[in-house]
Chain A
Amino acid sequence: KNQVEQSPQSLIILEGKNCTLQCNYTVSPFSNLRWYKQDTGRGPVSLTIMTFSENTKSNGRYTATLDADTKQSSLHITASQLSDSASYICVVSAHSGAGSYQLTFGKGTKLSVIP
C-alpha cells in the first residue's frame, strides 16, 4: 500500500530561524513528489515538484530535496517569516497504468512561526 509519512506533525520556530520538514514515502512506481503549502482556511498551493532525476529544487526561501534511493524528501525553509505559518503537505504521485496516476497525500506538518 502506498504511504506518505511526514514529520514532525507540528513545529514552532522563531521568526528568522531555519527549519526542515521531512517526508518519507513508500510509493511505487514513483512519478514525482510535490510539496504544497496550505494557509489556514485556504486550499493548498504548490511550492515545488521533483521527478526521479531531480534531487533539489528551490522556490525562493523554500528548498526541497529528494533522495529517490532512500525514498525521502525534505523541505528546508530559510530565514522564516510569519507568513510561513501554514501546513505543509507532501504529495507523491505514482503511475497507475494506462497513462494515469495516483496521488498519495501526507498528513502534513503544521508550522508556526512566532515573533
Chain B
Amino acid sequence: DVKVTQSSRYLVKRTGEKVFLECVQDMDHENMFWYRQDPGLGLRLIYFSYDVKMKEKGDIPEGYSVSREKKERFSLILESASTNQTSMYLCASGGQGLLAGVYNEQFFGPGTRLTVL
C-alpha cells in the first residue's frame, strides 16, 4: 500500500515563527504536492514538485516556500507564520513525472492541523 506520512497531526505556533511541515512517501513517486484545506474553500494547491530540487507554484504560494532535497521527502515552510495560515495542510504524492498518464491518482497523507496564535 502507498504510504504518505506527515510529521505532525497537530501543531500550534505563534505569529512570526518559522514553521516546517514535512511529508514522506514510500512509493518512489516523482510528483509531490502541498495543499491547504479550509471550510467552504476546499483543497487549494500551494506548491508541487515533479522531481528532486524542482518546484512549481500552485494557486496560493504566497507566504510559503518548499524544499525537495530527496525524492521521498517534500517540506513546506512558513517563513513567518501568520494567523491566516491557520488551516489543515495535506501532502500528496502520485505519478511518475509530468507524463503521469491518464490515471494520475494522488495519495494523500493524514494532514497536519496547524493553528497560528
Q: Which residues of A pack against B, CB within 8 Å?
A: 31-32, 34, 41-46, 49, 51, 89, 93, 98-101, 103, 105-108
Contacts and interface: CB of A to CB of B under 8 A. Distances in A.
7 contacts: A31-B104, A32-B102, A32-B104, A34-B105, A51-B102, A105-B44, A108-B42
A107 B92 contact: no
Given A41-B111, A43-B110, A32 B103 contact: yes
B104 A42 contact: no
B104 A93 contact: yes
Given A99-B100, A100-B99, A107-B40, 18 more contacts: A32-B104, A41-B110, A43-B90, A43-B92, A43-B108, A43-B110, A43-B111, A44-B90, A44-B108, A99-B99, A100-B100, A101-B100, A101-B104, A103-B45, A105-B43, A105-B44, A106-B42, A108-B42
Interface residues of B, number: 21
The listed residue with most A CB atoms (<10 A of its CB), out of B4, B43, B44, is B43
A63 B98 CA distance: 30
B105 to A, nearest CB: 5
B12 interface: no
Interface of B: 4, 40-45, 90, 92, 98-100, 102-106, 108-111
A62 B106 CA distance: 19
B111 A42 contact: yes
Tell me the interface secondary structure of chain A in the complex: strand
Nearest to B106: A103
